[in-house]
Structure 1
Amino acid sequence: MRALTPPDDPKPARRPRLAEILLAEGTVSPAELDRALESQRSRDLPLGEILIIQGAIDEAQLLDALATQFGTRVLASGECTPDPSLAGLLPAALAIRLGVVPLRRAGAALVVMTNRPDRDDDIRQALAHDGPVLLALAGRDTMQAALTRIYGKDLARLAEARTRGVYSCREWNPERVSRRWLGALLVGLAAVLLAPAVALSLLFALALCVSAANFMLKWLALHTMSRRPEVAEGATPPAPPDTARRPVVTILVPLFNEPDIAANLLHRLTRIDYPPELLDVLLLIEESDRTTRQALTRASLPPWVRTIIVPPGQPQTKPRAMNYGLNFAHGSIVGVYDAEDAPEPDQVEKMVARFAEAAPDIACLQGQLDYYNPGHNWLSRCFTLEYAAWFRLLLPGVQRLGLFVPLGGTTLFFRRSVLEEMGAWDAHNVTEDADLGLRLARRGYRTEIVETTTFEEANAALIPWVKQRSRWLKGYAMTWATHMRDPGRLWRDLGARKFIGVQVQLLGTLLGFALAPVLWTLIVKLFGWPHPMDRFVPRAGYLGIALFFLASQALTIYVAWRASALPRHRRLRGWIPTLDIYFLLASAATLLGLAELLVKPFHWRKTAHGGYSEAGQAAQAMRAQTDPASSFSRTSNAVER
């Protein structure tokens, strides 16, 4: 094995080319090399990486060829443990970008491990070391493990505080908030005891105002979706994107306790119709999650999929894991998928094409979400109807109204430069998606809804559904409270329209669910029973309230009916009248979320996946027969078990 010694001539007249070495050793055929070189002409990627992804060579063969090319050797497995005291010689971000880890000292020389010896000049210049630098080679996974060992703790701390404090909820003080809420609760109880009719009437009036605001927002969103988008006079259609120069796309997939769906996830990812050389999928796994790590060890990962182990830390949340994984991303576009997601095959291509033609202030593209197990039970049917209304009508309407777009937690694609400028995700916010959407709006960036669908698993069990929804609504409360710490600044950042929209979209959602039971007390009037508000509300007033309720109910039914126009949703229309009962569950979830906000604000209630695969198979099989327009259906007839 070749020893590591300083080269007599650090810049030889001519190194042999990698292609020449591989051909001379018979590692690749001329046809395989020609194919890889053709791909390299339109890709800013190393030849060796393209050959691996195309299946022409494996990593060991590439490392041997690079060792020959650069006059060094491949490290044995026992030689790859870096000295943590050398971390100060190179910043973590630069080490990751260059693909190098300071390994150990050898006298006056510094031994570094790398899988990119072609960057040797940059590596030597970047290191804070005046003596000789000896390059040794290691594989991708070995490099990843070494980077984690030497820089992991620092990167984990950065992931916890990547968002600026003024925009983050990490400074949330549960004790102080609890004291304020306790004081407000005591005042409320005193009011109820001293004047119950007055207290209930005031709550009813507040609930009615909130309901009216939510009604107006829904109506405006629906109205704007009924109109064609305006096109500037004389505007020319954008030029088609240059598909020969596609960018690298990184997709972050956070996993936690997901051993049962790992194989299905990998199968779904392999259906993505985008050049594999330009895909960079990062599976983000907590260090403590041994079951998922073992499941992935048994799986055969394609070369464009990497496993990133997230070091322990607090809080243990999805946004913290994504912040950590972002350090290792290669792409200029960063996407997010959940573990159970099944994106349409052309989805990444659509996102890339849209970014290529969109204005620079379009920083985020949000795809539509749907469920592949709507027929499992009543809860999954209502959940599917709710998502159809949200992603196909209301959210696009909110976008057209010029309000901030509360992002969904998956099928998101960002310009990486903007994402890093924003401080990525708030690791302490349990609805990091909505928070990031608001921060984007505050900085003048826009989010656009793209007509492409990701199918995922609807939570179809009552208690898990309430827990999941309580986390979402708790995050809404945290997001609203965090950004309203300085209302004047928020007003200046957003302008009047978006500021008012934030109040309705976040606070209005919370109050609407929390106060819905107060409105339901009016049902006693249907039976001719007295109501505490009788002393304040005349009969004509009750008539006006009843008419408003009818209008609100009609709007809810119409939105759900219109949103369920796709063939795969039409069979759900008979369940639309039960949505009011479904939304009462959200009222229970709101109260649970607000209570948890006081005692466990950063606790992430994990949603289990993979429990409804049979329903998913049946639903997707029916879609394949009844909805040929869906590209997802054309590609696969079932969600694999």
Structure 2
Amino acid sequence: MANIELLQISGASANTNAWITRPRLGQVLQGLGLITQDQIKTCVARQSTQEARFGDLLCEEAGLNEVAIMRALEIQWQTSEVQLDRAPPDKRMIDVLGVEHCLQRGYIPWRCVGARTVIAAVFPDHADQDRALLEQHFGPISIGVTTGKSMQAALAELYGTPMQNRAALKVQDNLSCRTWRSERFRRILKLSFIATAITFYYHPAIAFIFFTFAALIALLVQNGLKFAAALAMTRRTPSRPTENVVPIHQPKLPTVSILVPLFRESQIAGTLINNLSKLTYPAALLDVCLVVEADDQVTRTAISKSDLPSWIRVVTVPCGLIRTKPKAMNYALEFCRGNIIGIYDAEDSPQPDQIDKVVAQFAQADPDVACIQGRLQFFNARENWMSRCFAIDYASWFGMVLPGIAKLGLAVPLGGTTLFFRREILQELGGWDAHNVTEDADLGIRLARAGYRTELCDTATDEEANCRAWPWVRQRSRWIKGYAMTYATHMRRPLLLWRELGAKGFIGFQIMFLGSIAQALLAPMIWSWWLLLLGLPHPASTLISPEMVRALGFSMIAVELLNITISGVALWRTGQRGLIPWLPTFNFYNMLATIAACKAMIEMAYRPFFWDKTSHGHSAALSKKRIAA
């Protein structure tokens, strides 16, 4: 056996010989009595089909934690632990390699001790593989070991502030809403309000006809798109050819990182961990990051009361100038290990085989498929009238309209959860716009502009329906504000947008964003004409003929029937047939969207980046789930 040179470093030693024959990690752990030979064989077999490190597989198979793996690595590499919490690393040395490199390879240069530079490694084999690079920068090296948690904490302590600053500015200026000039919009909003009020005061009939016409156009084009999307859903998607095709290489299952942004969640942490623990995807290939703000003691305390498994960790976001979900996700993305990045919300309960389906779909998809969107539904759909209507809303959108939009080849405005991305494409686009309060919809448009596609996956996630009136208005106003900000951002250069999306995509973008905002704001103009059906006078009735009134009434009834049909089919397809009798009441639910739209316009002028957080954990159904768990 070659000579072994050991260097004592503050109570830790590091092996400097790269060619020593070392025992296998499994042998070391078996010698310590922590695993069995059968468990070693199982992990070795799994490595042939899974892109998992042996230590991660052992954590799943034998219930080990990263400290136990580190102790075994000390023996395997004849070295000792570098305690980064007691002796922080030299930042100047890390700057040479860059934080991204250190996170990707799982080691950091620690300090110079004598004639050698000590490398603190979570994965000492990576440091050994990169020995030539490391010695080129730092001279002779010695390798010590540390845990992933310790390395993450050390890097966050040194680089947390610049990383969170970078997270807020990742998207290019011309594609971000952070350059939004709210002062100009305030002036436009005030002048528009004054002009509208004057017109209604002096010429009410003309004002009603003008705005009714605008509302009718928005109504018809919106529902025309719904109809086209529903028709597209009837087309059978061509199946991929499988006959006479022999796969040369079956790809290994990849690591999937899941970001779960949390903020002021005192009740949801335990339920969330229980829901994620039901996933059937191999735990060794899961990297779940609970993304928590540094000053959010409520959530941090709730998490501290839970015993997190080895595949769930906490990523703490330093405080900054803005506090939004997309900024937190941009920050956490730097710490992810997976090639696929998924997003869940705090209250989400995904179907157990969801990750398996998504990974399989990505494996079969074309390289230009950057995102896979799952279906959202509610576990408390029957709690009250509002939750029933919200469930109808989601069934129609995620069950019929959104898949139809994707089949039509239009840009897909993504929903904020049950989203999965190819990591390299997500990073290429700069992640999420940290200032956009509907960062999901904006990212869907940016993906389409860059030439990428979104596919829908036949899998569902249960979440909590917002079933109280004012919280619903607050949530919907944030969505409408985000849609308006997204529209204004991408329409800065409309000709460029036309070239990148194509004519069909550009028109679809106008309908989905401008059309939906206009419909919500102008809906009262349409409602006002129901006065005639009730035998009441209307300010503009003297300026239009009875034939035009009948045509207007026919259009409204046709649209209502179309909406009921699409929603009814969606409910039938998703197994929620019990909600069909509630469809005639759906219009009353939609009236709240007008209040939300007015709130959104005011916030665009005064608080454009304010994140009106949706509060979770109030459903009676959720309380029952906690008791059952």
TM-score by length of 1: 0.91
Alignment check: 8 A CA contact 1:90 1:128 kept: no
> What is the match of residue 423 of structure 1?
430
* 1:326 is aligned to 2:333: yes
Identity score, percent: 39
In 2, Cα distance between equivalents of 1:197 and 1:127: 82
1:113 is displaced (CA, Å) by 2.2
SS in 2 for 1:565: helix
> What is the match of residue 168 of structure 2?
160
> What is the match of residue 471 of structure 1?
478
* Segment drifting more, 75-84 vs 326-335: 75-84
Alignment of structure 1 residues 95-134 onto 2, 5 Å: 95-106=102-113, 109-121=116-128, 122=130, 125-126=133-134, 129-134=137-142
In 2, Cα distance between equivalents of 1:84 and 1:13: 30
Counterpart amino acid of 1:71? Q
Per-residue CA deviations over 1:285-339 (Å, capped at 9, x if unaligned) read 1111112112212211111111111111132111111111111111111111111
SS in 2 for 1:611: coil
* Segment drifting more, 82-91 vs 485-494: 82-91
In 1, Cα distance between equivalents of 2:108 and 2:305: 28
Structure 2 CA distance for partners of 1:130 and 1:229, relative to 1, 3 Å = closer
Q: 2:496 aligns with which of 489, 492, 502?
A: 489
Q: 2:144 aligns with which of 109, 132, 136?
A: 136
Structure 2 CA distance for partners of 1:545 and 1:235, relative to 1, 3 Å = farther
Per-residue CA deviations over 1:381-403 (Å, capped at 9, x if unaligned) read 10001111111111111112221
Gaps (5+ residues) in structure 1?
Answer: 619-637
> What is the match of residue 221 of structure 1?
229
* 1:208 is aligned to 2:216: yes
Alignment check: 8 A CA contact 2:15 2:78 kept: no
Moved over 6 A (4+): 5-8, 237-244
Counterpart amino acid of 2:172? R
> What is the match of residue 627 of structure 1?
none
* 1:31 is aligned to 2:38: yes
Q: 2:613 aligns with which of 606, 627, 631?
A: 606
1:525 is displaced (CA, Å) by 1.2
1:16 is displaced (CA, Å) by 3.5
Gaps (5+ residues) in structure 2?
Answer: 1-5
> What is the match of residue 198 of structure 1?
206
Counterpart amino acid of 1:310? V
Q: What's the C-alpha RMSD, in Å, of the aligned pairs?
A: 2.5
In 1, Cα distance between equivalents of 2:543 and 2:238: 47
Alignment check: 8 A CA contact 2:7 2:15 kept: no
In 2, Cα distance between equivalents of 1:174 and 1:238: 57
> What is the match of residue 600 of structure 2?
593
SS in 2 for 1:366: strand
SS in 1 for 2:62: coil
In 1, Cα distance between equivalents of 2:478 and 2:248: 40
1:459 is displaced (CA, Å) by 0.5
Structure 2 CA distance for partners of 1:11 and 1:527, relative to 1, 3 Å = closer
In 2, Cα distance between equivalents of 1:157 and 1:9: 38
* 1:532 is aligned to 2:546: no
> What is the match of residue 515 of structure 2?
508
Alignment check: 8 A CA contact 1:124 1:133 kept: no
> What is the match of residue 380 of structure 1?
387
In 2, Cα distance between equivalents of 1:300 and 1:431: 32
* 1:450 is aligned to 2:457: yes
> What is the match of residue 157 of structure 2?
149
> What is the match of residue 3 of structure 2?
none
In 2, Cα distance between equivalents of 1:404 and 1:338: 23
> What is the match of residue 506 of structure 2?
499
* 1:285 is aligned to 2:292: yes
In 2, Cα distance between equivalents of 1:238 and 1:352: 20
* 1:369 is aligned to 2:372: no
In 2, Cα distance between equivalents of 1:530 and 1:8: 91
Counterpart amino acid of 1:81? P
In 1, Cα distance between equivalents of 2:248 and 2:84: 45
1:177 is displaced (CA, Å) by 1.9
In 1, Cα distance between equivalents of 2:558 and 2:246: 45
Q: 2:352 aligns with which of 334, 341, 345?
A: 345
* Segment drifting more, 104-113 vs 372-381: 104-113
> What is the match of residue 623 of structure 1?
none
> What is the match of residue 269 of structure 2?
262
Q: 1:81 aligns with which of 82, 88, 91?
A: 88
1:230 is displaced (CA, Å) by 5.1
* 1:399 is aligned to 2:406: yes
> What is the match of residue 173 of structure 1?
181
Structure 2 CA distance for partners of 1:393 and 1:104, relative to 1, 3 Å = same
Counterpart amino acid of 1:546? G
Structure 2 CA distance for partners of 1:241 and 1:356, relative to 1, 3 Å = farther
Alignment check: 8 A CA contact 2:66 2:310 kept: no
Alignment check: 8 A CA contact 2:28 2:76 kept: yes
Counterpart amino acid of 2:417? T
> What is the match of residue 183 of structure 1?
191
Q: 1:553 aligns with which of 560, 566, 570?
A: 560
In 2, Cα distance between equivalents of 1:243 and 1:89: 38
In 1, Cα distance between equivalents of 2:307 and 2:374: 28
Counterpart amino acid of 1:3? Q
In 2, Cα distance between equivalents of 1:228 and 1:165: 41
In 1, Cα distance between equivalents of 2:531 and 2:295: 53
Q: 2:62 aligns with which of 50, 55, 58?
A: 55
1:426 is displaced (CA, Å) by 0.7
> What is the match of residue 3 of structure 1?
8
1:253 is displaced (CA, Å) by 0.9
Structure 2 CA distance for partners of 1:493 and 1:229, relative to 1, 3 Å = same
TM-score by length of 2: 0.93
Alignment check: 8 A CA contact 1:201 1:532 kept: no
In 1, Cα distance between equivalents of 2:135 and 2:327: 29
In 1, Cα distance between equivalents of 2:500 and 2:196: 34
Structure 2 CA distance for partners of 1:351 and 1:431, relative to 1, 3 Å = same
Q: 2:416 aligns with which of 409, 425, 444?
A: 409
* Segment drifting more, 73-82 vs 217-226: 73-82
> What is the match of residue 47 of structure 2?
40
Alignment check: 8 A CA contact 1:255 1:339 kept: yes
In 2, Cα distance between equivalents of 1:239 and 1:602: 52
In 1, Cα distance between equivalents of 2:204 and 2:355: 57
Per-residue CA deviations over 1:111-166 (Å, capped at 9, x if unaligned) read 34221111224266258843443433222211111111122122111211111111
1:51 is displaced (CA, Å) by 1.4
Structure 2 CA distance for partners of 1:326 and 1:128, relative to 1, 3 Å = farther
> What is the match of residue 633 of structure 1?
none
In 1, Cα distance between equivalents of 2:14 and 2:565: 76
> How many residues are treated as equivalent by the alignment?
621
